[in-house]
Structure 1
Amino acid sequence: MVVGLTYNLRGESMETFGAGPPEEGDDAEFDEWATVQTVAAVLEELGHRCVVIGSLPALMARLLRGERWDLVFNLAEGHHGYAREAQIPALLEEWRIPATFSDPLCLSVCLHKPTTQRLLRQAGVATAPFTVVRRPDDLDAVDLPYPLFAKPVAEGTSKGIGIDSRLTDPRQLHLVCAKLWERHGQPVMVERYLPGPEYTVGVLGAGADARPIGVSQPLFDEPAEPFLTALRKHDASQKPVPARLLDDTTASRRIAALAVQAWRALGCRDAGRVDLRCDAAGEPYVLDVNPLPGLSPTYSLLPLQWESAGGTYPELIAHIMASAEQRLPAETAPAIATAPGGSGVRSGRVGWR
């Protein structure tokens, strides 16, 4: 099968979504060339012919030249707007070329956190109370008990989250929101701060076939900053914040079940992550759903969790491909893919090992 590979590279030309000048970390969601090379090599090992395409302009040019692929493995996060993660999938949808991961609607919904939370709440999934502030006049109408937590409505990789994101009084609320408006050029989501432990659940598959990989808990070494900021996702050496994979217990199964419920409610597919946090009583709430996960084998949370659960990186890519291949036309669908050194994954059950 011919598989195209789309991506955004760190350091490529870009303008910021906000009003301020470019700053270090603006391209934190983008991939390093080493990640692109690794994914391409694994796709070749799985028996596919991988065509390295690049970002949206390169894809557009190739499509207009008449190039086609059986499926596109999409890593691209996009540059601009609330629908930036959906731009390449939407273009491929118009050309009727299947792509990995969630569809354009799901990607747009999940990037916009208030929309995500509203839909989850309608589906009966627990989320923290929140409000959206768009201008200074909105601040006086915030009617939630302190402490609160502030973040941009549509950023990933913890961009816009810092040590000052936890708010204890109206003065902090005004200062932090003003900073986020100026830096990110978008409304701010203000939600009730949840003081309990934070968890990440990796999910594979779609619909009834969606299964959790496991439940991981970040290990914070600074009690004063018990949440993931943009700087703490990983340090300059690309080492991620340490995390431990929870044992298969009643408590961890409950967290995993809530994550899968959120995943299914939003129509996510193939692979991704759900982030949750508990309140003071230990009740879990969904914070964020990431249907376009990072795949760096060095520091991205999903591959690291998968490997902690006993899997290999090629097996993870094979599972993602197997899920996406279910959307291929019948005449294109390949035989069962086999990860190097592993077994076929088309019919295997995914979950804790």
Structure 2
Amino acid sequence: MPINRKPLFPCITIILGDPRLPDKSKIDDRFSTEDLEAIDRAKEALGELRDYQFTYLDNHSALLPQLIADPPDFVLNFCDTGYKNRARQELHVPAFLEMLGIPYSGARPACLGLCYDKSLVRSVAKTHGVPVPAETFVHGNDLNGAILKNFPALIKPNRGDGSVGITENSLVYDEPQAHAYINKLAMEFPNCDLLIQEFLPGDEYSVGLLGNPSSGFKILPILKVDYSRLAAHRLPPILAYASKVDSASPYWTDIQYAKAAMDEGLRQRLVGYCRLLFERLGCRDYARFDFRADVQGEVKLLEVNPNPAWCWDGKLNLMAGFAGYRYGELLEWILQAAQARYAKKQGIFSEEPP
């Protein structure tokens, strides 16, 4: 992946979620100790990058006036909570930056909006020959019209990040269980569109790409999710909401992640799907793609995340660790990918690092 030896933009402003404001995607609607630790670890890792100077913005109430009054040279957009910690407004931060002409890392608003709708991503993937699970889309205002055919099935919100709405009861084995969980989601998330999806019981993988189509990609080692320890708790093997937010849950403590051992043909096929979707969906600089095998062993797309978690214990950094990279090096690769994209746009010569 081509990068500049010297940063095009050495002065970096990092936009984060706002710990002062409530966040309905978190337990008790607020940033946890683990969330604050993740921010501290990121700052520590970024402090290792001697070619850059960093400023942090996390006060969303003052964010737009600050950007207008003192436009940054370049923004590292790590605001994965959404503007004012509203998940549906994740695209608002890059939209502000676009309107103000401020260069930034990561996906554009259109990409974030598209990928927030899981059903649309599935449709794009299927059109391009990427295997996807069988699925029924249910409008939030017509949940009684849900057509239930094949079980087991996984029921989840069509829109949302961080596995919100996915619990141990999301995996249903018959019609009464399905209707019970649909009604539960209807109460928790009024008018929320739902997906009733073929449950994929096989191996689950994540693929991380750093870079861009025009300058090439760095493909991180593929990650495999190990659910085996959940059996002792009689919990279904899924990445439930608790796996992201509840440090006391077995979904947090007992799910393990390892470098995937797979044949080269499968690896190349998954990477090919990811390259295709990265470009077609408009991802930029980095993205993560999740897959899982069905009962016959065919690996199908679960999700595309164009703004994946940048935290030290997130999948992207775990994959970087499999390749021998430190956390700070992963964050630097993201910066370099974004800046190489702007350098290419401006016709500035870039080359491989020594």
TM-score, shorter chain, exceeding 0.5: yes
1:222 aligns with 2:233: no
User: 1:320 deviation in Å?
Assistant: 0.5
SS in 2 for 1:50: strand
Contact 1:214 1:246 (8 Å CA) reproduced: yes
SS in 2 for 1:232: helix
User: 1:311 deviation in Å?
Assistant: 1.0
Structure with bigger helix share is 2
CA distance in 2, matches of 1:68, 1:25: 34
SS in 2 for 1:311: coil
Superposed counterparts of 1:202-351, under 5 Å: 202-207=208-213, 209-220=216-227, 221-223=229-231, 224-233=235-244, 236=247, 241-247=255-261, 249-250=263-264, 251-297=266-312, 299-328=313-342, 347=352
Query: What amino acid does structure 1 have at the position aligned with 2:340?
Result: Q
User: 1:109 deviation in Å?
Assistant: 1.0
Q: Deviations over 1:139-172 (max 9, x none)?
A: 4441542221111111112111111111222212
CA distance in 2, matches of 1:191, 1:87: 29
Which one is further off, 139-148 or 118-127? 139-148
The one of 67, 71, 76 aligned to 2:70:
67
Query: What amino acid does structure 1 have at the position aligned with 2:74?
Result: L
Overall identity of the aligned pairs, in %: 24
User: 1:255 deviation in Å?
Assistant: 2.9
SS in 1 for 2:236: coil
Contact 1:8 1:30 (8 Å CA) reproduced: no
1:6 aligns with 2:15: yes
CA distance in 2, matches of 1:42, 1:80: 24
Counterpart of 1:177 in structure 2 is: 182
Specify whether residues 56 and 328 from structure 1 end up closer, same or farther in structure 2 by C-alpha distance, changes over 3 A only.
farther
Superposed counterparts of 1:71-82, under 5 Å: 71-76=74-79, 77-78=81-82, 79=84
1:162 aligns with 2:177: no
Counterpart of 2:206 in structure 1 is: 200
User: 1:228 deviation in Å?
Assistant: 0.9
CA distance in 2, matches of 1:197, 1:29: 30
Specify whether residues 55 and 304 from structure 1 end up closer, same or farther in structure 2 by C-alpha distance, changes over 3 A only.
farther
Counterpart of 1:339 in structure 2 is: none
1:189 aligns with 2:195: yes
User: 1:333 deviation in Å?
Assistant: 9.4
Counterpart of 2:7 in structure 1 is: none
> What's the TM-score, normalizing by structure 2?
0.83
Q: Which contiguous aligned blocks of 4+ residues in structure 1 show a shift greater than 6 angstroms?
A: 28-31, 329-336
Contact 1:149 1:190 (8 Å CA) reproduced: yes
CA distance in 2, matches of 1:301, 1:183: 28
Contact 1:151 1:188 (8 Å CA) reproduced: yes
Specify whether residues 309 and 28 from structure 1 end up closer, same or farther in structure 2 by C-alpha distance, changes over 3 A only.
farther
Counterpart of 2:36 in structure 1 is: 33
Query: What amino acid does structure 2 have at the position aligned with 1:317?
Result: L
Contact 2:212 2:337 (8 Å CA) reproduced: yes
Specify whether residues 254 and 323 from structure 1 end up closer, same or farther in structure 2 by C-alpha distance, changes over 3 A only.
same
SS in 1 for 2:76: strand
1:48 aligns with 2:52: yes
Specify whether residues 80 and 312 from structure 1 end up closer, same or farther in structure 2 by C-alpha distance, changes over 3 A only.
closer
Contact 1:202 1:271 (8 Å CA) reproduced: yes
CA distance in 2, matches of 1:244, 1:216: 6
CA distance in 1, matches of 2:65, 2:197: 42
User: 1:35 deviation in Å?
Assistant: 3.2
Q: Deviations over 1:234-289 (max 9, x none)?
A: 75277683111023632333333333333232121212211111111111111011
SS in 2 for 1:181: helix
Higher relative contact order (CA closer than 8 Å, sequence separation 6+)? 2
User: 1:175 deviation in Å?
Assistant: 1.2
Contact 1:144 1:192 (8 Å CA) reproduced: no
SS in 1 for 2:178: helix
Specify whether residues 153 and 82 from structure 1 end up closer, same or farther in structure 2 by C-alpha distance, changes over 3 A only.
farther
User: 1:81 deviation in Å?
Assistant: 6.3
SS in 2 for 1:98: coil
> What's the TM-score, normalizing by structure 1?
0.83
CA distance in 1, matches of 2:262, 2:162: 27
